[in-house]
Structure 1
Amino acid sequence: MTVSKFMIRPRVKASTIIEVLISMIIIMVVFGIAMIIYANVTKSGLSELEIRAGALLNETLQNDEKDDAVSSRIFNVDILRIEQQVKSYDADGSLLEIDLVAYDVNGEKMAEAHKIIPNRND
């Protein structure tokens, strides 16, 4: 009995090129949607600078509440430009409204704070 050089092997069932292309397209669409969602989530979150600006404005408001002479001014802290506007809140001038806005180096608003305090100049 002689052994044949060519043995018949059972066929392995495989995917067609069309099936592979369709599955790759589906994977790419899902990956693209995931990247868009990831970009939106990271963009919408608060940055470290915004958190620091808010804390700085709150600290400034607390200091102004203790201070007797509060006035409108513009000052810089690190890379933030803070605009403080003080105006009378009521007709007799017994209350003051303090508006603080923090801007970054590009002029984009990072944080804002508002507070009404008693006027101690009287």
Structure 2
Amino acid sequence: VGPGCTDETLLSAIASALHTSTMPITGQLSAAVEKNPGVWLNTSQPLCKAFMVTDEDIRKQEELVQQVRKRLEEALMADMLAHVEEIARDGEAPAEKLRGEEDGEDDEEDDVDRGPEIENV
């Protein structure tokens, strides 16, 4: 509501109200705002038209979040599989790479814990 208000202004006003107030954010409920947008009628609410968030709005948002989480899970799984394939192409199994074994032979000294081995590349 008001001259020169942009989407960024509205978003900033709502975000500020959410962070500074424990009251529900409803916007300006009075019709007088339509006649004179320069008047700040309710200082506890952002300077925007009244709005309502319905159960349907919440349900749609929850569905969207679930879809995005599913896509993220798929992307992470694809990345993990690509990483495993890359290690397999390099000729080492993932467990061998973590242990720092190169030839897989057991030495008698392996019983002594020497900490992680550093490999020159």
TM-score by length of 2: 0.31
Q: Which protein is richer in strand relative to its size? A: 1
Rg (Cα) greater in structure: 1
